[in-house]
């Protein structure tokens, strides 16, 4: 922005009116604090933080500020955005505001040269980038020049740069730190989901002269409800009933990918037009689903948190949660997608007893432990190592290892060298105070969600208080304030319950064979072991929740009859699509084989197949929470075939009560194939995630 540019409030209001008219129509009028925020941004090298509810119009602030800055001769605006879906919506919104916008992300490498050419020619008003771009050499090489010319940097969804934020992302924080080093550009950080601790942390990162605009987080269009006490099967049936009356189209949030696929399939079987949306979908599929929902071509999207921040559909009529997020901030962020531009929308939580097990995993997965960090760094002392090599040497599981390496990279202790990781020479200092504090915060937030699910006071006011809203008031609309629940009330119809039960019990879980042996074990390369597998139930399967509980409580060798019957039913369905028919049954090896043998005996008797007791086991059970290499090494030492086996040369049906890592079945399958079996089919009662 040139030194002669006026920065009076009228100038800010003029450009706010122009942009808002293009975005929302000629009758739209800006909020006073929107104009104030634009005015603050237009001051030279300003630092501004805006914490406002979803739907308040945060994006209009940075488009108006960009419009004013470009009008005054300043360089383009750089927007850092954490999700591809969010960037797509932002490009479209910027263009509606009369700005020329483009994005540089992992899906459009072919367009980068043209985008950079537009930047060089000063014909681009807005560039949107993802946090991972800093790790790309092509982008990193241009970052210094880009920072020298931009007039405004926007850090959207700014809670992601805070260690205390519900969706902290190390890559995002690293990029934000690099951008904040610019001495000339103004910086605007925005979020709808920040409590006082996160707000202060982000403000401190922006700088001591940061101006913060924080408003009430109450949402008058949103009616919140909690429907407690439903079993997993009843929750599915409840949603099938509720979709008959829930307004418009909306989002049904679940906690896992498997749950999204399963619930979407059930609702589709009930005649509803729904899609599943998870992080495993490719970019084109995500765009197609987002567009179908945006144009009301489907009733609902069953989604994980992959569909969250920034998805722009102002007229979403409902948001239902099957299972509770672990923090009130995450819940507010997701449920706040609904009711932005409609007079009434429903936000419904269907809590589950299983939620807290998932909370515990995500609460600790991204928090480093000093011994673990030092173990990883010790593997890098002599030379760079690939992710697979570090995993093999440390015994850490892949997800936790990747999270730890990102944090170490943010701390400047490690760096990526090609496809490998290397140390930088900077020592690692474990911030015990910070990480212990974060554990306590997450435990406290989980307790807040526990109380929310129990309906301890007005739901909207409770969310406001948990986010440190300065003006929490009872809403008078929620299920606690009115003692009323949305249709179908506190229980689903018998009809939908029976449909849910039949559907869940008619869909077996496929067990995908392992493909490659890990490094550091006796077998190498591609795996020749299992052909295919089926499980009666996967994870907290709604169709089998009661029976899985009975199975977990049963003594070895005393499998409940209902689960034995379920195994037979699964086998009958599976046999209709077999490429090979088993000629014998074998119980999977284990430290305690009594339940596996009982299941094998039952299957052999029903199927009139010979039963072969051919495995022995030495030592302790295999670890189930370690990396692949130590698990497979343990199994190779513990598991043996009897020396005098007389195994038929045909396919073998390998049976087990439980499968988790699949390595036990894989090693057993390899032994069977090496002994002459022409194929190995795996049947399990329960596949744990």
- Per-residue model confidence (pLDDT) at position 5: 47
Residue 81 vs residue 252, higher pLDDT: 252
Report how far Cα 333 is from the mean position of its chain's Cα atoms.
13
Is 30 in the same domain as 99?
A: yes
Is 298 in the same domain as 344?
A: yes
What confidence tens digit (pLDDT) does each residue in 173-199 have? Answer: 777 777 887 778 999 999 888 888 889
Q: Pick the closest to residue 655 from 687, 617, 622, 685 (CA basis).
A: 685
What confidence tens digit (pLDDT) does each residue in 552-578 have? Answer: 999 999 999 999 999 999 999 999 988
Report how far Cα 617 is from the mean position of its chain's Cα atoms.
38
- Per-residue model confidence (pLDDT) at position 256: 86
Is 110 in the same domain as 195?
A: yes
User: The CATH number of the domain where 497 resides is what?
Assistant: 3.40.50.300
- Per-residue model confidence (pLDDT) at position 309: 63
Contact assessment for residue 58 and residue 52, using Cβ atoms and an 8 Å cutoff: yes
C-alpha distances in angstroms, 225 versus 158, 236, 319?
28, 17, 11
Is residue 386 assigned to a domain?
yes
Q: Pick the closest to residue 127 from 154, 106, 161 (CA basis).
A: 154
- Per-residue model confidence (pLDDT) at position 364: 65
C-alpha distances in angstroms, 489 versus 236, 241, 331, 367, 480?
14, 10, 22, 40, 13
3-state SS, one letter per residue, for 470-489: CCCCCCCCCHHHHCCCCCCC
- Per-residue model confidence (pLDDT) at position 134: 66
Domain that holds residue 123: 9-214
Q: Tell me how many domains the chain contains.
A: 4
All residues at 6 or more sequence positions from 451 whose CB lies less than 8 Å from its CB, including other chains: 462
- Mean pLDDT, residues 297-319 taken together: 87
Name all contacts of 256-259 with Cβ < 8 Å and 24+ positions apart.
256/304, 256/358, 256/539, 256/689, 257/304, 258/538, 258/539, 258/689, 259/322, 259/323, 259/539
> What confidence category does residue 453 fall into, taking pLDDT thresholds of 50, 70 and 90?
confident
User: The CATH number of the domain where 425 resides is what?
Assistant: 1.10.10.10
Is residue 528 assigned to a domain?
yes
Is 227 in the same domain as 210?
A: no
What confidence tens digit (pLDDT) does each residue in 587-619 have? Answer: 999 999 999 999 999 999 999 999 998 999 999
Residue 246 DSSP code: S
Given 189, 214, 239, the domain boundary residue is 214
What confidence tens digit (pLDDT) does each residue in 422-444 have? Answer: 999 999 999 998 888 888 888 88
Is residue 445 assigned to a domain?
no
- Mean pLDDT, residues 293-318 taken together: 87
Is 416 in the same domain as 470?
A: no
- Per-residue model confidence (pLDDT) at position 2: 42
- Per-residue model confidence (pLDDT) at position 3: 39
| 440 burial via Cβ count (<10 Å: 0-12, 13-18, 19+) | exposed
Tokens standing for residue 290: 């987002």
SS3 state at 73: coil
Is 323 in the same domain as 286?
A: yes
Contact assessment for residue 518 and residue 392, using Cβ atoms and an 8 Å cutoff: yes
Is 422 in the same domain as 386?
A: yes
How many angstroms separate the CA atoms of 623 and 627, rounded?
9
Is residue 30 assigned to a domain?
yes
Contact assessment for residue 13 and residue 35, using Cβ atoms and an 8 Å cutoff: yes
Is 467 in the same domain as 514?
A: no
Is 338 in the same domain as 481?
A: yes
Tokens standing for residue 428: 């690692």
Is 67 in the same domain as 192?
A: yes
- Per-residue model confidence (pLDDT) at position 165: 67
- Mean pLDDT, residues 26-30 taken together: 87
The phi-psi region of residue 229 (left if phi > 0; otherwise alpha if psi is between -120 and 50; otherwise beta) is: left
> What confidence category does residue 359 fall into, taking pLDDT thresholds of 50, 70 and 90?
low
User: The CATH number of the domain where 640 resides is what?
Assistant: 3.40.50
Is residue 364 assigned to a domain?
no
Whether 299 shows a pLDDT value over 50: the answer reads yes
Residue 218 DSSP code: -
Whether 4 shows a pLDDT value over 60: the answer reads no
- Per-residue model confidence (pLDDT) at position 1: 43
- Per-residue model confidence (pLDDT) at position 361: 63
Contact assessment for residue 166 and residue 446, using Cβ atoms and an 8 Å cutoff: no
- Mean pLDDT, residues 322-334 taken together: 84
Phi, psi dihedral angles at 170 (to 5 degrees): -55, -40
Residue-averaged pLDDT of the chain: 88
Is 501 in the same domain as 548?
A: no
Tokens standing for residue 45: 């090298």
Whether 71 shows a pLDDT value over 60: the answer reads yes
Tokens standing for residue 421: 């990781």
How many angstroms separate the CA atoms of 160 and 194, rounded?
10
> What confidence category does residue 360 fall into, taking pLDDT thresholds of 50, 70 and 90?
low
What confidence tens digit (pLDDT) does each residue in 648-660 have? Answer: 778 999 999 999 9
How many angstroms separate the CA atoms of 587 and 585, rounded?
7
Is 389 in the same domain as 351?
A: no
The secondary structure element, H or E, covering residue 529 is none
Is residue 446 assigned to a domain?
no
Tokens standing for residue 368: 């480093």
C-alpha distances in angstroms, 519 versus 68, 530, 628, 668?
58, 19, 9, 18
- Per-residue model confidence (pLDDT) at position 238: 98
Please state the pTM of the whole predicted model: 0.77
What confidence tens digit (pLDDT) does each residue in 135-180 have? Answer: 677 787 888 888 888 999 999 888 888 877 666 677 777 777 778 8
Is residue 360 assigned to a domain?
no
State percent of the chain over pLDDT 90: 52
User: Euclidean distance between the first and final Cα of the chain, in Å?
Assistant: 54
Is residue 362 assigned to a domain?
no
């Amino acid at each position: 922005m040139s030194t002669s540019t006026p920065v009076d409030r009228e100038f800010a209001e003029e450009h706010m009116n122009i942009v808002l008219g293009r975005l929302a129509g000629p009758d739209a009028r800006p909020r006073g604090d929107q104009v104030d925020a634009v005015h603050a941004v237009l001051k030279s090298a300003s630092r501004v933080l805006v914490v406002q509810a979803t739907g308040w119009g945060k994006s209009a602030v940075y488009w108006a500020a960009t419009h004013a800055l470009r009008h005054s001769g300043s360089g383009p605006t750089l927007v850092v955005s954490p999700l591809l879906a969010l960037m797509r919506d932002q490009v479209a919104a910027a263009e509606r505001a009369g700005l020329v916008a483009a994005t540089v992300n992992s899906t459009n490498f072919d367009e980068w040269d043209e985008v950079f050419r537009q930047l060089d020619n000063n014909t681009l008003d807005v560039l949107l980038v993802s946090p991972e771009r800093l790790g790309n050499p092509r982008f990193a090489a241009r970052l210094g020049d880009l920072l020298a010319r931009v007039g405004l940097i926007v850090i959207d969804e700014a809670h992601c740069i805070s260690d205390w934020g519900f969706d902290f992302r190390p890559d995002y924080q690293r990029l934000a730190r690099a951008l904040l080093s610019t001495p000339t550009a103004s910086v605007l950080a925005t979020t709808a989901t920040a409590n006082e601790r996160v707000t202060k942390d982000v403000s401190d990162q922006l700088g001591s002269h940061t101006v913060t605009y924080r408003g009430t987080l109450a949402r008058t269009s949103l009616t919140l409800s909690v429907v407690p006490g439903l079993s997993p099967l009843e929750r599915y049936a409840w949603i099938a009933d509720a979709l008959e009356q829930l307004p418009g189209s909306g989002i049904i949030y679940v906690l896992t990918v498997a749950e999204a696929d399963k619930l979407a399939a059930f609702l589709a079987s009930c005649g509803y037009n729904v899609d599943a949306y998870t992080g495993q979908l490719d970019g084109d599929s995500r765009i197609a689903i987002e567009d179908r929902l945006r144009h009301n071509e489907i009733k609902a999207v069953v989604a994980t948190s992959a569909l969250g921040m920034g998805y722009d559909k102002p007229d979403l009529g409902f948001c239902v949660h099957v299972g509770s997020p672990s923090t009130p901030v995450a819940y507010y962020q997701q449920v706040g997608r609904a009711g932005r531009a409609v007079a009434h929308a429903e936000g419904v939580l269907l809590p589950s007893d299983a939620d807290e097990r998932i909370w515990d995993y995500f609460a600790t997965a991204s928090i480093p432990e000093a011994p673990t960090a030092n173990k990883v760094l010790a593997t890098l002392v002599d030379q760079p190592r690939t992710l697979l090599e570090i995993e093999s040497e440390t015994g850490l599981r892949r997800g936790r290892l990747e999270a730890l390496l990102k944090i170490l990279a943010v701390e400047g202790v490690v760096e990526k060298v090609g496809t490998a990781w290397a140390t930088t020479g900077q020592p690692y200092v474990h911030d015990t105070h910070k990480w212990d504090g974060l554990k306590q915060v997450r435990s406290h937030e989980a307790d807040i969600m526990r109380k929310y699910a129990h309906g301890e006071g007005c739901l909207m006011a409770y969310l406001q208080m948990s986010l440190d809203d300065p003006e929490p008031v009872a809403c008078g609309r929620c299920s606690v304030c009115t003692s009323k629940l949305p249709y179908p009330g506190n229980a689903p119809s018998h009809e939908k319950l029976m449909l849910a039960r039949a559907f869940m019990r008619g869909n077996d879980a496929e067990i995908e064979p392992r493909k490659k042996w890990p490094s550091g074990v006796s077998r190498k390369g591609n795996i020749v072991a299992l052909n295919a597998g089926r499980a009666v139930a996967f994870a907290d399967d709604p169709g089998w929740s009661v029976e899985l509980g009975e199975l977990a409580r049963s003594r070895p060798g005393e499998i409940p009859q209902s689960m034995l019957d379920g195994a037979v039913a699964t086998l009958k369905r599976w046999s209709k699509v077999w490429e090979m028919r088993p000629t014998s049954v074998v119980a999977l090896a284990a430290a305690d084989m009594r339940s596996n043998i009982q299941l094998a005996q039952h299957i052999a008797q029903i199927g009139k197949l010979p039963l072969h007791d051919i495995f022995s086991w030495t030592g302790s059970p295999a670890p189930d929470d370690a990396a692949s290499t130590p698990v497979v090494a343990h199994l190779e030492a513990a598991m043996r075939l009897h020396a005098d086996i007389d195994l038929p040369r045909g396919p073998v049906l390998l049976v087990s009560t439980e499968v988790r890592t699949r390595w036990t079945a894989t090693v057993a399958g390899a032994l069977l194939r090496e002994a002459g079996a022409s194929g190995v089919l795996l049947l399990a009662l329960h596949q744990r995630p």
